Amino acid sequence: MSYQTYFNNSPKPIERIIGALSYLNPLIGLVWLIVAAVMKKGVRPFLLYHIYQSIFLAISLFILGFGLNIIMRIIDFIPLINKLAGIFTFYLSTPLLAGFSIIGLIIFVVILYLAIGSLLGRYSYFPWVSELIKSNIRG
């Protein structure tokens, strides 16, 4: 059974909204899952997909930021390389457009793409993460 036929049901408007909001704040999706579990209601695959993907991306972003912070602290002890890393970090984190840095703008565009895809009732695709989520959702 292919992925598209398995998830062929059209999502309800509330599922689309909750899916989009979970990209803005993954705690919204997590609370929705907890409420559904307490009320013993099933959550449809469309909403599970978007909630799991938003939580996975948020955790991945946190781990990536934490790891880069540790690496930058180690690089601070290496002469010359610390200056180059400082310049590189400065240009990546300086606000350029509407208060967003280059990295912040990229993250904003990705979150906007995923949220709009959810609002349109589509399974938004993010490389590697979407395939991992698809393979683990059971309907």
The tally of domains found in the chain comes to 1
pLDDT tens digits for range 19-74:
999 999 999 999 999 999 999 998 899 999 999 999 999 999 999 999 999 998 99
Specify if 82 maps to a domain: yes
Whether residue 139 lies inside any domain: the answer is no
Which pLDDT score, from 0 to 100, does residue 1 have? 42
Residue 115 resides in a domain: yes
Classify burial at 2, counting beta carbons within 10 Å of its beta carbon; exposed 0-12, middle 13-18, buried 19 or more.
Answer: exposed
Residue 93 is predicted with a pLDDT of 84
Global pTM reads: 0.83
Q: Is residue 81 part of a domain?
A: yes
3-class SS at 100? strand
The answer on pLDDT for 99 being more than 50 is yes
Domain for residue 104, yes or no?
yes
Average pLDDT over every residue of 2-24: 79
What does the alpha-carbon distance between residue 116 and residue 139 come to, in Å, rounded to a whole number? 23
Alpha-carbon gap, residue 4 to 22, rounded angstroms: 22
Residue 121 falls within a domain, yes or no? yes
Residue 29's nearest CA partner among 59, 63, 7, 53 is 53
Residue 67 located in a structural domain: yes
CA nearest 23: which of 99, 101, 129, 103? Answer: 129
Q: Is 72 a domain residue?
A: yes
Domain that holds residue 29: 3-134
Q: Which of 105, 113, 128, 117 is CA-nearest to residue 19? A: 117
CB-based contacts of 116, cutoff 8 Å, min separation 6: 20, 124
Q: What is the pLDDT of residues 81-90, one digit of tens each?
A: 989 988 888 8
Task: Give residue 50's pLDDT.
Answer: 95
